[in-house]
A and B are shown apart, each in its own frame.
Chain A
Amino acid sequence: MAMTDAHSTGIGSWLTTVDHKRIAIMYFVVGFAFLLIAGVEGQLIRLQLAAPERSFLDPDLYNQLFTMHGTTMVFFAGMPLVVAFFNFVVPLQIGARDVAFPRLNAFSFWVFLFGGLFLYASVPLRVMPDGGWFAYMPLTNAEYSPGPGIDFYVLSLLISGVGSIAGGLNFLVTILNMRAPGMTFMRMPLFTWMALIVSALILLAFPPFTVGLIFMLFDRRFGTHFFDAAAGADPVLWQHLFWVFGHPEVYILILPAFGIVSDVIPTFSRKILFGYPVVVFSGVLIAFLGFGVWVHHMFSVGLGPVVNAVFGGATMLIAIPTGIKIFNWIATMWGGRLRFRTAMLFAVGLVATFTIGGLSGVMHSSPPADLQQTDTYFVVAHFHYVLIGGTVFGLFCGFYYWFPKATGRMLHEGLGKAHFWLSFIALNVTFFPMHFSGLLGMPRRTYTYAEGLGLDVFNLISTAGAFIFTLSFVPLVWNLWRAWRRGEAAGHNPWDASTLEWTMASPPPHYNFAEIPAVDRRDPLWHPYIEPESRREGDEPGGVVPRQQPEEPPEPVVMPNPSYWPLVLAVGMLLMTIGGLGSLGLTLFGLLVTAVGLFAWAFEPPFGGGVH
């Protein structure tokens, strides 16, 4: 049995790893760090708005902070945390030993990391982008946004976008092609289903945004006229390109959370998911409709009543599949033997808070109502309810659910529940008052507000809520520390869950499955296992998946080799990105490094070194 990177833990083994479980951990750690950084930025914004006419932040810095907060949360916290779960869970749920392209997977991580670090290089240089996460033209052109701030935004999103598209490609092929024998589409766990849908969304939604970013870069650096009204162009084109990506991006962030709770709620209700096919197809429908609603971000642009009505109607339609999912989760819990462990609390919390955010979303799907609400704190309240109450709660739900599998240690339930209740209270205290301040007309993205407009008390409550949010991370970090020091051993299947990832030891061995299981139904672990020798035709209730994988692989397992080249390729792309700030020489050198990395990668044997 040869030693491979699975057994060494030195820094070199992390730089060269192609193991999906290790890449998942790296995604999680980096994504969590960006979540904390962006959280601090949000906290600073709330401090500035705690009382009218404060001068804690000057307007310029305020603009930079809300831009960094939004950009970081969406691209460098939300997406990598979602992808961390794809990486860890999907191969285990479909009965695969790794993803389809392990080196491409490592490459995706490195370019995401470099994109994030590049964006944050603007902080010590004091040139943070200040055009909002949507960077509307013409505000962001070279004339109105001189200096490199917007270039940091454009270039960091271009490079990390390459990683996202590569990741989408990888998981699409993995889920379509690497399923265990018998794992048909309609037997896949819901999280894997949503990962499949989101991979397709990433592949189709990112290219228009990439093209928009290239147009913006060319307008700023090479004097082209894509968004220049004086040359005959239409700056609104940027809004179309941004939102035709930006709205599917919302579903890229929420559908994985839906997938997580669709696996967690049945586990802690001791019941199979109510209406599995309907939950699957409503996910497909949400993704499909998601490409046809982007103009609801642009109702106030003035595209005309017909356009607005069509997009408003399409937006209302999305409430149907979303509502179906919510009713399915409730029906799954109905009459079940509910166990309110921390993961279940976050899942139920999602059902409640996401519904509130979904309802306010339906409110501004109507153009006349939206014209009152657009650019006010009402919209801020809406999307924080869906992004925190949906995505973040879903991710925490998955975190508490799969942490024992990933680490082999249990988390403390009391601390977990403290974390849930603090964040649940914080979410509502921070963002519920924003519905009122928004309807009173308080504008977004404005660094202060005047006294005596009736906004003072709502803002003070919101800021108090933000402090509770910060406090909510204390039990989480304490829990992690405790699990690391003296967490109880998790065993194979601590929740008595039904899917394949719970058949092997925790943490899973390098090769995941000693024997690739053959699946003959959904929820294979919830059916009594029948030994192969006593299995006969017509043994209907008996499953063919043993509840535990064998300790050792009966046959040698060939695993992909670790490789430096994904990192080299990513470094080459980082050099090109830095060169994009104004050094053609550096860009060409980066291109050379990229080419070297690509050729070395292509001619390196992907398999063969690591036989177990």
Chain B
Amino acid sequence: MEGPTSTGIPNRKLAMWSFIGSECMLFGTLIATYMIYRGRNLVPPYPHDLLNIPFITVTTFVLLMSSLMMVLALAAVQRNDLRATKLWLGMTALFGLIFLGGQYYEFNHFVHEGLPLSRNLFSSTFFVLTGTHGAHVAGGVIWLSTLLVRAVQGKLDARHAETVEIAGLYWHFVDVVWIILFTLIYLLV
């Protein structure tokens, strides 16, 4: 069943690319909603009251660096360097976790400052958009951690490079989405 494919692209990789295409429509809709409603909030607090650009710049940098770690993890598994594979997979997941911790802190801080989910139009659009992205990061961290456990068990080597590559495609996509969100939500505030 797993012979050569008609396009030459492995089935699972083509599926991930197609899934990413579908995800573009998902995030595209969420981002469009946020942009349409930008500046239409009628009830305080407003975005510029709360958004902490320096703090998010740091977590954004961490998430960007995790993409570099991911590239190193794939390179390591492709040359069958299992020690480096474990290291870089672990670092990717850890950097993802740090980003999620930053998001948890930010959400918590906003709620304390009087912006629960149901507060106003800004809270609705902000939490659902960044929360959906956070859920994608969390899913990626679980996926990478699973790969790490397999690597520690000695069940991940160069034969599974395609699996790592596909996880990497997903991870890079989630990072790219964050670059867009960071620009549109924080830098354009």
How many B residues touch the partner, as a band? Answer: 35 or more
Complex contact B15–A225 (CB within 8 A): no
9 pairs of A and B residues whose beta carbons are closest in the complex: A223-B118, A224-B124, A207-B25, A207-B26, A177-B5, A232-B40, A211-B29, A232-B42, A203-B22
> Which residues of B1-56 have CB atoms within 8 Å of chain A's CB atoms?
1-2, 5-7, 9, 11, 14-15, 18-19, 21-23, 25-26, 28-30, 33, 36-37, 40-43
Partner of A211 from B2, B11, B30, B120 at Cβ < 8 Å: B30
By a CB distance below 8 angstroms, the chain A residues around B94 are none
Complex contact B22–A241 (CB within 8 A): no
Also in contact, A237 and B33, with CB within 8 A (given A177-B9, A178-B6, A204-B25): yes
Q: Let me know if B161 is at the binding interface, CB within 8 A.
A: no
Q: Let me know if A467 is at the binding interface, CB within 8 A.
A: no
Q: Let me know if A296 is at the binding interface, CB within 8 A.
A: no
Partner of B15 from A100, A210, A558 at Cβ < 8 Å: A100
Q: Let me know if B100 is at the binding interface, CB within 8 A.
A: no
Q: Let me know if A500 is at the binding interface, CB within 8 A.
A: no
Also in contact, A218 and B26, with CB within 8 A (given A169-B18, A231-B42, A231-B43): no
> Which residues of A223-263 have CB atoms within 8 Å of chain B's CB atoms?
223-226, 228, 230-234, 237, 241
Also in contact, A225 and B124, with CB within 8 A (given A177-B5, A183-B6, A232-B42): yes
Complex contact B1–A207 (CB within 8 A): no
By a CB distance below 8 angstroms, the chain B residues around A211 are 26, 29-30, 33
- In the assembled complex, the CB of A96 is this many whole angstroms from the nearest CB of chain B, namely 9
By a CB distance below 8 angstroms, the chain B residues around A212 are 29
Nearest A residue to B5 via CB reads: A177
- In the assembled complex, the CB of B112 is this many whole angstroms from the nearest CB of chain A, namely 18
Partner of A177 from B6, B42, B123 at Cβ < 8 Å: B6
Nearest B residue to A182 via CB reads: B6
Complex contact B37–A98 (CB within 8 A): no
- In the assembled complex, the CB of B168 is this many whole angstroms from the nearest CB of chain A, namely 17
Q: Let me know if B151 is at the binding interface, CB within 8 A.
A: no
Task: Digitize B120-139: 1 where CB-to-A-CB distance is under 8 Å, 0 elsewhere.
Answer: 11011100100000000000
Partner of B118 from A222, A233, A237 at Cβ < 8 Å: A222
- In the assembled complex, the CB of A239 is this many whole angstroms from the nearest CB of chain B, namely 13
Also in contact, A224 and B118, with CB within 8 A (given A98-B1, A178-B5, A211-B29): yes
Q: Let me know if A25 is at the binding interface, CB within 8 A.
A: no
Q: Let me know if B62 is at the binding interface, CB within 8 A.
A: no
| Complex: A607 Cα to B43 Cα, angstroms | 57
Complex contact A204–B22 (CB within 8 A): yes
| Complex: A208 Cα to B128 Cα, angstroms | 14
Q: Let me know if A461 is at the binding interface, CB within 8 A.
A: no
By a CB distance below 8 angstroms, the chain B residues around A170 are 15
Which of B5, B11, B23, B30 has its CB near the most chain A CB atoms (within 10 A)? B11
Complex contact B29–A558 (CB within 8 A): no
| Complex: A534 Cα to B35 Cα, angstroms | 67
- In the assembled complex, the CB of A262 is this many whole angstroms from the nearest CB of chain B, namely 22
| Complex: A212 Cα to B33 Cα, angstroms | 10
Partner of A204 from B9, B21, B120 at Cβ < 8 Å: B21
By a CB distance below 8 angstroms, the chain B residues around A208 are 25-26, 28-29
Complex contact B23–A207 (CB within 8 A): yes
Complex contact B29–A165 (CB within 8 A): no
Complex contact B1–A559 (CB within 8 A): yes
By a CB distance below 8 angstroms, the chain A residues around B6 are 176-179, 183
By a CB distance below 8 angstroms, the chain B residues around A457 are none
Also in contact, A173 and B33, with CB within 8 A (given A183-B6, A224-B124, A560-B1): no
Complex contact A100–B11 (CB within 8 A): yes
Also in contact, A173 and B1, with CB within 8 A (given A178-B6, A204-B25, A225-B124): no
| Complex: A212 Cα to B29 Cα, angstroms | 9
By a CB distance below 8 angstroms, the chain A residues around B21 are 203-204
A-B contact pairs, 9 of them (CB 8 A): A169-B15, A173-B14, A176-B14, A177-B11, A178-B5, A210-B26, A218-B128, A226-B128, A241-B29
Partner of B1 from A223, A228, A599, A607 at Cβ < 8 Å: A607
By a CB distance below 8 angstroms, the chain B residues around A223 are 117-118
Complex contact A176–B7 (CB within 8 A): yes
Q: Let me know if A347 is at the binding interface, CB within 8 A.
A: no
Q: Let me know if A172 is at the binding interface, CB within 8 A.
A: yes
Complex contact B11–A173 (CB within 8 A): yes
- In the assembled complex, the CB of A332 is this many whole angstroms from the nearest CB of chain B, namely 28
